[in-house]
Chains A and B, each alone.
Chain A
Amino acid sequence: MRGTKNGHRGSSAAILLVGGGAVAVAAWAGGHPGVAAIVVGAYVVLAAIAFVWSGGSGDVAAILRGGSDERQRAIDLRATAAAGSVTALFTVIAAIVNIARTGGDPGAYGAVCVVFGISYGVALAVVRRRA
């Protein structure tokens, strides 16, 4: 089934395990071994869910495997853009709330807003050049 089983079933699970492992190591290094253990447990469960889901033949399974066709890539792209927009909106609102609460300091949200703005500008320039 070339069209429905492309990609690697363990892709998303591996990303979750690596990401979760990094968070757990950070928590451990920060002196919170209990939190590290909880993080490991949570990410192992999430990775197991991703692995099982990736074995299916649906659109989401194909996207999780990284072996999607053009329509599934378009779905993934739109979903990523929607999630990015929601995250950006949340970050801007959180920065504004922080400024109001602290009298001028947006905190880490301000840095995220700057990174988002710069990375969007660069991405726009690069993508426009290729299109």
Chain B
Amino acid sequence: MRNRVRELRTQVGMTQANLGDALGVSRQTINSIEAGRYLPSLPLALKIGRLFGSPVHEIFEMDEEDG
């Protein structure tokens, strides 16, 4: 999975800690999501989409190997 969380976060001038606070998760979790190491749950992905005003499918994209 690829995602645009880092890109959207920097566009609005938020730090990882700011975004974590806004979503109720840790800075480390934001870092892991941005790095593609952790796939957020559907509720968290929806929260991210709502925060950035983007549908989830425009933030998270499947890689070729994800099928």
Contacts and interface: CB of A to CB of B under 8 A. Distances in A.
Contacts of A70: 25, 29, 40-41, 44
Interface residues of B, number: 15
Contacts, number: 45
B67 interface: no
Interface stretch (A18-26, A56-64, A87-95): A56-64
A101 interface: no
Interface in A28-60: 57-59
Contact of B28 (A1, A2, A58, A74): A58
5 tightest CB-CB pairs across the interface, nearest first?
A69-B25, A3-B20, A71-B29, A3-B21, A4-B26
Interface of B: 17, 20-21, 23-29, 32, 38, 40-41, 44
Interface of A: 1-4, 57-59, 62, 68-72, 74
Given A3-B25, A3-B27, A57-B27, 15 more contacts: A2-B24, A3-B20, A3-B26, A3-B29, A4-B21, A4-B26, A69-B25, A69-B26, A70-B40, A70-B41, A71-B25, A71-B26, A71-B28, A71-B38, A71-B40
